[in-house]
Amino acid sequence: MNGVLLVDKSIGPTSHDVVAKVRRALGIRSIGHAGTLDPMASGLLVLLVGEATKISDYLLNGDKAYEVVVRLGVRTDSMDMTGLILEEAPAETLSRLTEAEVQSAVMAMAGTLELQVPVHSAVKVNGKKLYEFAHRGDVPEDVPVREMSFYDIEFRGWNPVTFEATVHLRSSKGSFIRAWGNELGRRLGVGGSVAVLRRTESQPFHVGQAISVEAIQERWEARKSRSGECLGSAWVELPEALPHFLRLEIEARM
């Protein structure tokens, strides 16, 4: 059992929770993941099993794609709707927003942007992770601002009742979708926070290949041999785990 296991994570559990459940289900201790998903996020979580843990860096550096719903008119400390509300825009202000205006703002946010890192993240300041400060209610003054890249942005709809914009986009390593949603609200002058987040791709894999933790448990219990084949497209053998890399086959004699 050396390879990549593609999980369609549900909303609620942490990435660590998913790893723990799969370890118990497969009876394999050596399992990690490539790219954390917040508890409020769903979608593709790439697990590395056995020797595949050694290719973590090659998968962590890949671009990712997300379906995101940004709720305008609300600004929170975490940049998503699970956080503490810091500011809310009046309903009459929000009602004046038009779909064309929102779409224009969304499409203008492609490219490399300088955005503040969310305080509820694992980025380190003075040797400590930002979320460690945030959990104590003590946000450092020097929260880093970094360049983040977003591209292939698709505007997929505007709900004038809930004041939510639905967008699909791709981003490079180190780019935070919550920071992007927060900036969208700032540009529209009403504030914004991520309400729904689903990862659809983690290069070179797509969520369509993934299955739920429950499905993994069921298929593994019903297997006829100790093989990942019973997991279908969710299981990628180690030699096939980096299809976007140049492959060199070498024959040798001793």
Tokens, residue 79 = 């940049």
Phi, psi of 128 (to 5 degrees): -120, 145
Phi, psi of 83 (to 5 degrees): -90, 180
Catalytic residue among 38, 57, 63, 80: 38
Q: 97-116 burial string, b = 16+ CB within 10 Å, else e? A: beeeebbebbeebeeebebe
Between the alpha carbon of residue 85 and those of residues 36, 55, 82, the distances in Å are 24, 40, 9
Can you tell me the distance from the alpha carbon of 160 to that of 99, in angstroms, rounded to the nearest whole number? 8
Tokens, residue 56 = 């973590």
Tell me the torsion sign for CA atoms 171, 177, 181, 186.
negative
Ranges assigned E (strand) in the chain: 3-9, 31-33, 41-49, 64-72, 74-76, 85-88, 111-116, 124-125, 128-129, 145-159, 164-171, 192-202, 205-206, 235-237
Tokens, residue 145 = 């601002």
Region for 46 from its dihedrals, namely left if φ exceeds 0, alpha if ψ lies in -120 to 50, beta otherwise: beta
Whether 77 is catalytic is: no
Can you tell me the distance from the alpha carbon of 92 to that of 88, in angstroms, rounded to the nearest whole number? 12
Can you tell me the distance from the alpha carbon of 80 to that of 47, in angstroms, rounded to the nearest whole number? 25
**Residues forming the active site:** 38
